[in-house]
């Protein structure tokens, strides 16, 4: 299991946003959390990535307890994420956005970085490696033609791609995508599905995504968790989920 949660719970005052969530995500593959608005999906993500400290339960990443650790420590451990509403460094270029995410691999200290005398300080060599890796990553994901463009000037679909590229630059083992297809038309969604599969295969990582687009989820995920009102109401392969009466009633109402 690359990621495991035990009775993960988050209460905001009297509201229980996530109630005893038990995720078991094995290594490799694409997994999805689905559910109606307000089901607690993003809250679950925020707990896994350390943005919120859970009020109950534990989170294990590669069998290490990472519950309530700082977000940067969790990213260093190997979990990267994207955001529901794209959050790029808007004033920075495509290249700068991605290379910034390389910073966590920097070994040189501040003084070595400022007094970067070749031969004495290891910084210049590290910087060269970062630049090469960043260019390779942009090339691989088809973003190198806009390498020096300001990131906010990119079309929407490419901003999504860039956000994924930035997350990949941290070299994660587990990638969390928060509604990657939000605001996309069916054709863009289809392209995104292929893109996600390619990323999974080429970078050999595990992907956990939150999604509203049912077709995308059914298309690419191997295993699905369904949440409603903070509770995990169903889990299983796409085919099982599609026929589950509890899932149908959560999405369409129970008909009473």
Distance CA 212, CA 217 (A): 8
Cα separation values, 30 from 58, 113, 184, 202, 246, Å: 22, 38, 20, 13, 23
Q: Is the dihedral of CA 43, 49, 54, 58 positive or negative?
A: positive
Site for other proteins in 144-203 (CB under 8 A): 166, 170
Query: Which one of 6, 58, 83, 212 is in contact with other proteins (CB under 8 A)?
Result: 83
| Total of chain residues touching other proteins, rule CB under 8 A | 37
Give the separation between CA 19 and CA 38, rounded to whole angstroms: 13
Which x/- pattern, by CB under 8 A, does the window 35-64 give for other proteins?
Answer: --------------x-x-------------
Task: Indicate the residue among 18 and 167 with the shorter CB distance to other proteins.
Answer: 167
Tell me whether residue 113 or residue 231 sits nearer to other proteins (CB atom): 113
Minimum distance of other proteins from residue 5's CB (angstroms): 19
Q: Check binding of 252 to other proteins (CB under 8 A).
A: no
- The nearer residue to other proteins, 81 or 235, going by C-beta atoms, is 81
* Position among 58, 106, 219, 236 found at the interface with other proteins (CB under 8 A): 106
Q: At what angle do helices 186-203 and 156-169 cross, to 10 degrees?
A: 20
The conformation of residue 79, written as its DSSP 8-state character, comes to E
Q: How far apart are CA 164 and CA 158, in angstroms?
A: 10
* Cβ-based neighbours of 73, under 8 Å, separated by 6 or more: 50, 66
Q: How far apart are CA 170 and CA 105, in angstroms?
A: 8
Question: In the complex, what is the shortest distance from the CB of residue 241 to other proteins, in angstroms, rounded to a whole number?
Answer: 29
- Is residue 76 at the binding interface for other proteins, with CB under 8 A as the rule? yes
Nearer to other proteins, 104 or 231 (CB): 104
Task: Give the whole-angstrom CA distance, residue 144 versus residue 187.
Answer: 23
24-49 burial: b if 16+ Cβ within 10 Å, else e: ebeeebbbbbbbeeebbbbbbbbbbb
* CA–CA distance, 167 with 37 (Å, rounded to integer): 25
Q: State phi, psi for 73 to the nearest 5 degrees.
A: -70, -35
Comparing CB distances to other proteins, the nearer of 115 and 251 is 115
Single out the residue of 6, 62, 127, 219 in contact with other proteins (rule: CB under 8 A). Answer: 127
Q: Is 135 in the site for other proteins (CB under 8 A)?
A: no
Among 1, 68, 87, 183, binds other proteins (CB under 8 A): 87
Stretch binding other proteins (CB under 8 A), from 21-29, 36-44, 123-131, 226-234: 123-131
Between 49 and 146, name the residue whose CB sits nearer to other proteins.
49
Using CB under 8 A, list all residues that contact other proteins: 49, 51, 70-73, 75-76, 80-81, 83, 87-92, 96, 99-104, 106, 108, 110, 113-116, 123, 126-127, 130, 166, 170
């Amino acid at each position: 299991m690359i990621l495991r949660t035990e009775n993960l719970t988050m209460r905001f005052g009297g509201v229980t946003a996530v109630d005893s969530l038990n995720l078991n995500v094995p290594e490799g593959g694409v997994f999805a959390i689905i559910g109606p608005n307000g089901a607690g999906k993003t809250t679950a993500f925020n707990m896994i990535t350390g943005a919120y400290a859970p009020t109950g339960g534990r989170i294990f990443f590669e069998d290490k307890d990472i519950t309530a650790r700082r977000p940067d420590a969790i990213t260093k451990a190997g979990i990267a994420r994207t955001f529901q509403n794209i959050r790029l460094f808007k004033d920075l270029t495509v290249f700068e956005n991605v290379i910034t995410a390389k910073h966590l691999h920097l070994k040189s200290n501040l003084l070595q970085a400022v007094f970067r005398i070749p031969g004495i300080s290891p910084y210049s060599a590290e910087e060269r490696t970062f630049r090469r890796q960043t260019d390779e990553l942009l090339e691989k994901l088809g973003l190198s033609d806009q390498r020096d463009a300001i990131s906010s000037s990119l079309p929407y679909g490419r901003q999504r791609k860039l956000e994924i590229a930035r997350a990949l630059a941290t070299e994660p083992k587990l990638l969390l995508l928060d509604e990657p297809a939000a605001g996309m038309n069916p054709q863009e969604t289809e392209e995104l599905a292929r893109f996600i599969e390619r990323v999974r295969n080429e970078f050999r990582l595990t992907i956990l995504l939150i999604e509203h687009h049912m077709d995308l989820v059914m298309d690419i995920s191997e295993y699905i968790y369904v949440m409603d009102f903070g509770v995990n109401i169903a889990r299983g392969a796409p085919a099982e989920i599609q026929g589950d009466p509890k899932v149908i009633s959560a999405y369409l109402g129970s008909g009473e």
